[in-house]
Structure 1
């Protein structure tokens, strides 16, 4: 360690660059955009689709019910979410959730529903009907 200042600068530079990289990666994984409490079209559509069918079991705004667990407190990764929504889920041979792969009201909008639930899970979107961003 003949050059502690140089070493400190290299470590600081790496931390600054990698920290920015990880923030970009985290932002890229978010499937939604919320600005001043208003949501993009994807979240708004996800809200509508969720409340057209999912809320009957998973509760209003994804908070859970006596029939199914919260999708906000225990979010799944997107691949697992897609698989369960498309194929359904069973427990010990008993169907717990039917699949929606053939349902034209849900299958094409799985990512929108996920974006809505992701925004709720991240705490950037509260309960109730969200306000839309102007296009």
Structure 2
């Protein structure tokens, strides 16, 4: 029996992207049993006339301070991280993945942010922003703020 040929760099990256997508898709499906998600009646955001409440606006700011580097502008995804608005996950799964990270076969796919003071306290704000994007309540780009 002959050994399998080694993967080239581009083939390895394609395989890593496939594994990342599979892990995230599995996490989305596994967490879909929760009743509190993007599709539920409970909304974490308030948007009126295209303007976001303080929580959702802060979520936009926090998302674009770090999450967009991997998950793309406005949560639409990138070549190596999935969209967070096309196939949204429920709040419990979102909190778990953001705090603990995500791994596949012993390899870290996404690090956890439990110890990061710039993200951990604002998980629900980021979720509110992504929920508003997924629901179509907010478009791409910086939202205007609702006046209190």
> Aligned pair 1:39/2:52, yes or no?
yes
> Aligned pair 1:132/2:145, yes or no?
yes
TM-score of the pair, normalised by structure 1: 0.79
> Aligned pair 1:60/2:73, yes or no?
yes
Shift of 1:74: 1.1
State the alpha-carbon separation in 2 of the partners of residues 59 and 67 from structure 1: 9
State the alpha-carbon separation in 1 of the partners of residues 100 and 115 from structure 2: 10
State the alpha-carbon separation in 1 of the partners of residues 131 and 125 from structure 2: 10
Q: How does 1:92-131 map to 2 (within 5 A)?
A: 92-131=105-144
State the alpha-carbon separation in 2 of the partners of residues 54 and 132 from structure 1: 21
Q: CA-to-partner distance for each residue in 1:60-93, whole Å, 9 max, x for gaps? A: 0000001200000011100000000000000111
State the alpha-carbon separation in 2 of the partners of residues 44 and 100 from structure 1: 20
Shift of 1:56: 0.2
Aligned length: 109
More helix by share: 1
> Aligned pair 1:88/2:101, yes or no?
yes
Runs of 4+ with >3 A deviation: none
Larger Rg: 1
What 5-or-longer segments of structure 2 have no aligned partner?
1-39
